[in-house]
Amino acid sequence: MMMEQNQPASNDPPESGDSSPLRAWLAVGSVTIGAFAFVTTEFLPVGLLPQIARDLGVTPGTAGLMVTIPGVIAALSAPGMMLGAGRIDRRRILLMLSVLLLASNLISAFASNFAFMLLGRAILGASLGGFWTLALAAAGRLVRSHDAAKATAAILTGVTCATVIGVPLGTFIAGLASWRTSFMATGVLVAVALAAQAFLIPSLPSTAALRMADLVTLCRRALPRRSLLMVALIFGAHFSSYTYVAPFLLQNASFSMSSITLLLLGFGFVGFVSNFAFSAIVTRKLKASLVMVVSLLMFALLAMPLLRHSEPAVMVAILVWGVAFGAIPLCLSVWMQLATPDLPEAGSALFVGIIQVAIAVGSSIGGTVVDRVGISADFWFGGVLALLGLAAIASFGATEKIFASAELTGQVRPE
C-alpha cells in the first residue's frame, strides 16, 4: 500500500483560518523569538566560559559540561518528547517547553555552585530537543499552506540571529555587568516569548503520533543511517572546538574580552550572510556546497593553533569558520529532508537528536583534551573530525541518484 504521510493533522490549518493573516504571522514571530532565546541560552556559556569557570571554581574543560549536559538530555528528548506527546495539543507542549526554558535561565543566573548550574542546564536540555522537533512542524500549521515554507524560514531566522546577536550580546552584557546578568537578560526575553505565544498561538491538535516503528524504519535504511553518521561527524567537529573558542582566544591568542566579543559578533555576522548566500544554491548544488563548507571548517580548525601568534591571521580563520558553519546546518537539514521524504517527523526527530549527541560528545571529549593536552590539541581534534566528515560525504554517489533512490524506498511499506 502507499506510504502514509507522517504529518500533522492537516496542511490546510483551521487554526489559521479562524484568525487574520496578521495574527497568524505574529504567532510565527512568537515562535521565532522562542527559537532565538533557545539558541542564545544553549550557547551563551561559549562566550562566558572563562568567567563562569573562575567564579564557580572549575576548570574550563569541566565548565564545558554546561554545553555537554544539555546536549545529552536534548538528544533523548528530541525523539522521546514526540513519542510521549501522543495526541496532546502541540500548543500546550510548546508553552510548557518555554516555561522550562525560563526556569533554566533563572536557575543558571542564580547558581551558587557548579552543580546548581548544571541543574539549570539539564532543564534546558529537557526542553531543547522537544522544541526543535515541534517548532518546525508547527510552522506550516500557523499560516496558510502556501506560506508554510516562509514560516519555516522565519523560525530558522531566529537561529541565525541568535548566532549573530544573541551569544555576542550575552558576552557584551557580561563585560558590562556579569555573566549572571546575561542569563537574566535572556530570561526576560524568554518571558516575552512565552507571553506572546500564550496570546497568539492557536490550538494545534494532533491526530497522528510519532511511533517508535517510524524511527526504527529509518534506522534500518542505509541512506538515513549513513547520513546521520555524517551529521554527527560534522557537528562534532564544530562543537568540540567552538565550545572552547573563548579560552583559546583569551589564553592562546592573547585577545582581550572586548576583542573576543567583537570577533564572535563577526563570526555570527558572516554566518548570517553565508546562510542566505548558500540558500540560493543549496538545492541545486547540495553535495558541492557541503564539501565546500566542511573543507573551510577543517582548514580553519587546523590553522588556528598554528596561527595563534598572529592576531590578524586568527581573525581571518575565525571568520572563515563563521562562513562555514553559517551554511552547515542549512545544507545538512536539506540533506536529511531529502533522505527521509516519507517520514519527515521521524527524520526531524533523529536529525535533532544526533545533532545534540554530537554537541554533547564533541564538547565532552573536547573538554577532556583541553584539560589533559591543551586547547590547541582540541582544535586539531576538531579538524580530524571534519576530515572524517569529508570522507563520509565523499562516500555518497551523485546526489540525484541518492535521493531518487530514497524516494523510491519510501513509497511503499508493508502494513
CA dist 87 → 9, 91, 142, 180, 347 (Å): 10, 11, 18, 38, 19
**How big is the CA angle at 310 (ends 381 and 269), to the nearest 5 degrees?**
75
Q: Which residue has the higher pLDDT, 94 or 169?
A: 94
Q: Which residue has the higher pLDDT, 316 or 134?
A: 316
As a whole number of angstroms, the distance between CA 339 and CA 220 comes to 13
* Per-residue pLDDT at 313 exceeds 80: yes
Residues 185 and 251 in one domain: no
Residue 375: what residue type? I
CATH of the domain at 386: 1.20.1250.20
DSSP 8-state class, residue 3: P
Residues 265 and 194 in one domain: no
**How big is the CA angle at 372 (ends 253 and 307), to the nearest 5 degrees?**
25
pLDDT, one tens digit per residue, over 46-67 is: 878 889 999 999 988 888 899 8
Residue 291 domain flag:
yes
pLDDT, one tens digit per residue, over 115-124 is: 999 999 999 9
Q: Which of 186, 208, 230 is the last residue of a domain?
A: 208
Residues 225 and 302 in one domain: yes
Number of domains observed in the structure of the chain? 2
Domain span holding position 349: 211-415
Residues 279 and 139 in one domain: no
Q: Nearest CA to 32 among 183, 202, 151, 187?
A: 151
> Which cell numbers in the block locate residue 346?
521521524
Residues 361 and 379 in one domain: yes
Residues 66 and 202 in one domain: yes
**Cβ-Cβ contacts under 8 Å for 106 (sequence gap 6 or more):** 120, 183, 184, 187
Rounded to an integer, the average pLDDT of 5-9 is 39
Residues 200 and 223 in one domain: no
Residues 160 and 63 in one domain: yes
**Cβ-Cβ contacts under 8 Å for 4 (sequence gap 6 or more):** none
As a whole number of angstroms, the distance between CA 37 and CA 275 comes to 19
Rounded to an integer, the average pLDDT of 221-240 is 93
